Structure 1
Amino acid sequence: MYSHATAVADSPHTTLNVQALIDESRMSPFQYAVLFLCFTVLALDGFDTAAIGYVAPALVAKWGVARSALAPVLSAALFGLAFGAMAAGPGADRFGRKPVILVSTLGFAIFSALTAYAGSIQTMAVLRFLTGLGLGAAMPNAVTLMAELAPARRRSFIVNSVYVGFPLGAALGGFVAAGIIPKYGWESVFLLGGALPLLFLPVMAKLLPESVAYMVVRQYPASAVAAVLARICGKDLGHVTRFVAGDGGKAPAAKGSLAQVLSGRYLLPSVTLWTTYFMGLLIFYLLTSWMPLMMKDAGFSIEKAALLSALFPLGGGIGTLAGGLLMDRFNPSRVLAFTYLAAAVLLVAVGQSLSGGNVAAFAVLVFAAGTMVTGAQASLPALAAPLYPTQARATGIAWMLGVGRFGGILGAMIGGVLLGMQLPFSVILALLAAPALIAMTALAILAKRTRN
């Protein structure tokens, strides 16, 4: 856990606890600027991640392939997301949060743009995998950076405000796809997904800071730490000769960041977080990858199918912000456990509502289910961040995201199988209540263990 000790640790004006200083200070304009930058990184990440689901109906129509043939393309980016996250976490704990964010953003921008020129399923699958490596590396480090720059009393809400960028970016992809695919073709979605992060990259390079907690742990010069803290807190700290991190500073010499995450102290929290994220992404990616096709099979046009499907991640914005507020006031694990329980109920209700023929009621329930599923999923990094020390935090969050991505891969694959079996939409949604209940159980175990 982060320390809540006072900022000055020993002799007056010589040693300062950086996390305590941030905790004691109000959010500054600079911190809000960093929040916006990290939010934008995740919005671009969400846009590119969800893009393939929105263009899938157009690909089926243009290439004349069976829906099940798209399964490798839909899952390729998820493999990249998993491996990108798992590699980037230890990388960021070694080289810093900022350089990994910049390199990964450049990577997913380039490969997203190249996807527009794919002429076959095989080529597109390779390019989506490479895009996923960058996408998977950017997300956990943007979240980690913001968690380490946020005051403890508002950390969950602030981190969730960053993470809400992902579902909003994914939802924006649906609205954009519905507008530009009929005019410019499916290629335009990927070209836009590559151009936007490239345009944003110079802004991040200039304005994004490094984590001060990371700088302290890696023994940066005191002047460099003081310069970043001055921008955060508006105080002249040139007189400080030594900075310490809020969680004790240095890692045990014999353990790397991954070894700490898997050690006895952190193993149970890690496993419960992995299980929860796995189950949540199974639900999320099955629906975001295949719901447009499910809607088209139900009789909707390609444009309306994209719009209705976009309501699912769009609801996550409200759920994420509400979850952050509640997590700062109550036991965060219990808050998210109840959210997954509500998600299970709503998923069943969504499936049942389509048979009634009331499109408005169906749309409301899709939005409500997305509010719970996506909101809970987006809140998990805020839950994970304070469970790990600075020297292993990026790895802890990244491995939760990386291991969980295999749930997304499984969801994308299962979706193709279920559609191939021609199961009714209501049955598919009822089956998805099971992973929501498993996630609820894992969080209940974590709540009992942490008691926070």
Structure 2
Amino acid sequence: MQSRGNLPRGAATIALCFITALLEGLDLQSVGIAAPGIGAEFKLAPAMMGWVFSAGLVGLLPGAFFGGWLADRIGRKTVLVWAVLLFGVFSLATAHAWDYPTLLAARVVTGLGLGAALPLLIAMSSEAADPGIRNTAVSLTYCGVPLGGAIAAVLGMVEFDSGWRVIFYIGGLAPLAVALLLFFLLHESASFSRQEAVAAQPDRRISGLFGDQVRQSTLLLWLACFFTLTVLYMLLNWLPSLLIGQGYSRSQTGVIQVLFNVGGALGSIMSGRMVDRERPLLAVAIVYAGMLLSLAGLGLSSSFTLMLAAGFAAGYCAVGAQALLYARAPALYATAIRATGVGASVSIGRLGAMAGPLVAGQLLAAGAGAAGVMLSAAPGLVVAAICAWKLSGGRLSGRAVPSTR
């Protein structure tokens, strides 16, 4: 338990992590919001647009892994500040892209910064919270991602005279300001400080992910993250274009996106609270069964009212499912390899995140339509649900190792 004097520090850490997650969510959905304008300006076919969506995810994968690994060596705070600066600078660079290759390059490097930041936000919020509310703390931090996406959706509803680039100016300047806040106000994790001697052994960080106590849980976590993020990022990137293609107006599309992200924030918090109240299996059942039903609703609904409900439910379930996995990840690993373990699971998930937009683009190019895209995710979701169920059932070894180990 934290002492009373340490509570403000923990609360400040969680608040700063939440603010940074807001910026992550804003940037992650900015390409989806800007997609119609980008596609029109650079004359991109759906398959080419799929590469624009996936370019940032290409950077997310190595960024998440090496950001976590580096943070276990030199500290969470230092790596986080540089990661936020990196994705801020290259979000601005996205706004200044002059052709298709420079656009792709800017998104790849932006993804490196975004990828490095997320596992550190998860690890630091987990380490800052009391044991009884750690899942809630991680979920609260992660709910900043869909709320940032909601901000992006609101911005997308505004007709800026200067076009699609405005959202990248906002998504670039705000991280530069937040990086200063992190530098001056964020404290290094006390758990990391106690483990500096152990963390000096880099071979333990990698091999520790496959130790006898955590090997099976690591593999289950990776599978669940892969297929869950496949669906989540397909929705984050293609939902605006799919809705417009179904005949909805820009303002209607924006409302559905806002509800998707508000639902995601609520799903993140509620899922974490259910786990802290020792109801993890119920939480898993709700989010994965709900995801299958809401995807069918998004693909088949012809009523705007039903589409609003499906959008809210899809956000609640897709983001809630990923929040469950991210909340579980820090508890699997000792402090000396925690950021590496979380970063590795985020990286594997990013493979799915890259696959989702690309597969959706190819399906659309083949004439599958919105319903075909949504329903194609069902088999992967079943696999993810089984893995998450096993992880949450307490039948596997791999519980948190004491940080003094």
- What TM-score bracket applies, with the shorter chain setting the length? over 0.9
* Residue correspondence of structure 1 range 288-327 to structure 2 within 5 A: 288-327=236-275
Structure 2 partner of 1:187: 165
Inter-CA distance 203–31: structure 2 relative to 1 (3 Å threshold): same
**CA deviations over 1:69-128 (Å, ceiling 9, x no partner):** 212211110010111001111101101100010000000000000110101111100000
CA distance in 2, matches of 1:251, 1:441: 33
Question: Which of these residues, 137, 141, 163, is aligned with residue 120 of structure 2?
Answer: 141
- Give 1:91's aligned residue: 70
Larger radius of gyration: 1
Match of 1:178 among 157, 160, 164: 157
Matches within 5 A, 1:24-423: 28-179=7-158, 181-218=159-196, 250=198, 255-332=203-280, 335-354=283-302, 358-423=303-368
Judge which range, 59-68 or 184-193, deviates more: 59-68
Q: What TM-score, normalized by structure 1, do the two folds share?
A: 0.84
Q: Do the aligned partners of residues 105 and 140 (structure 1) sit closer, same or farther apart at CA in structure 2, a change above 3 Å counting?
A: same
Q: Which has the higher helix share?
A: 2
3-state SS, counterpart of residue 265 of structure 1: coil
Residue 401 (structure 1) shift: 0.4
Shift of 1:333: 5.6
Q: Distance in 1 between matches of 2:100 and 2:257?
A: 23
User: Is the 2:291–2:318 Cα contact (8 Å) retained in structure 1?
Assistant: yes
Runs of 5+ in structure 1 lacking a partner? Answer: 1-20, 220-249
Stretches of structure 2 that go unaligned for 5 or more consecutive residues are: 400-405
Give CA-to-partner distance per residue, 1:4-61, whole Å, 9 cap, x none: xxxxxxxxxxxxxxxxx42x65972332222110001111011111111110111122
Q: 1:89 to 1:49 in 2, by over 3 A?
A: same
Q: Distance in 1 between matches of 2:80 and 2:199?
A: 23
Shift of 1:304: 3.1
Cα pair distance change 1:121/1:210, threshold 3 Å: same
User: CA contact under 8 A between 1:337 and 1:443: conserved in structure 2?
Assistant: no
Deviations 1:277-301 (A, max 9, x none): 1111100111121111111111123
1:262 positional shift: 2.4
CA RMSD of aligned residues (A): 2.0
Distance 1:313 1:433, change over 3 A: farther
Shift of 1:427: 2.8
Would you say how many aligned residue pairs link Structure 1 and Structure 2? 397
Secondary structure class of the residue paired with 1:189: helix
Q: Does 1:437 align with 2:385?
A: no
CA distance in 1, matches of 2:231, 2:340: 24
